Homo-oligomer: A and B are copies of this chain.
Amino acid sequence: MIITIGREFGSGGRELGRRLSEILGIAYYDQEIITEIARRTDLSERYVQEMSEKRPMYNTFPIHTGRSFYYMQNSPLNLSFSIFQEQSAIIREMAKKSDCVIVGRCADDVLRESNPFRIFVYAEMESRLKRCRQKAPKDEHLSDKEMIANIRRIDKNRSRYYELYTGKTWGDRLLYDLCINTTRIPVEDAAAMTAKIVKK
């Protein structure tokens, strides 16, 4: 049983994944993947995190490079591809080891041969803004406008990243078994509902 979750930023997709894994009693992979890539490559977790959410840019160079790393001889684009390949290999290993929920990272496409149950989570902007506010650090003082700009930027990066590595359109309903709007459906209900369907 493998479940992949694509999600708009601030829609509660990560929370859904965590709850779903708890209900089903299966593994939940998220930060673990980043940690494993960082371990294998000597890049910093933060850098890997950034590279695995954004489409690589030709005109930017890594700021933090960790220790020695042979990919560094190459362009950021190649580095990004290498990280993606490493990440995909790790995802496949993890999915082989046990049932799991994987959030983001094009896992729906990477694991397509295992026929995962594919969820996409989204919500209206107002709802996402509210969720982001609740999670924001106390010392962050962004206006609504700034926060919405951030949300849009992050989604744009996710969308471009997904398109670059899968050749498909992020959020296209046909790529998912279930698309859940968390504006009115509470995440805990969405998790309970999805667990029922997946267990069938």
Contact = CB atoms under 8 A, between A and B. Distances in A.
Interface of A: 117, 120, 122, 124, 171, 173-174, 176-181, 183-186, 189-190, 192-193, 196-197, 200
A193 to B, nearest CB: 5
A170 to B, nearest CB: 12
A185 B192 CA distance: 16
Q: How many copies does the complex hold?
A: 2
Contacts of A179: 173, 176, 178-179, 181
B174 A171 contact: no
A181 B171 contact: no
B181 A173 contact: yes
B176 A181 contact: yes
B196 A185 contact: no
A178 B185 contact: yes
B173 A185 contact: no
A178 B181 contact: yes
21 contacts: A122-B173, A171-B173, A173-B173, A173-B181, A176-B179, A176-B181, A177-B181, A177-B183, A178-B179, A179-B179, A179-B181, A185-B197, A186-B200, A189-B197, A189-B200, A190-B197, A192-B196, A193-B193, A193-B196, A193-B197, A196-B196
Nearest to A175: B181
Nearest to A125: B174
A7 to B, nearest CB: 12
Nearest to A188: B200
Contact of A184 (B120, B177, B183, B189): B177
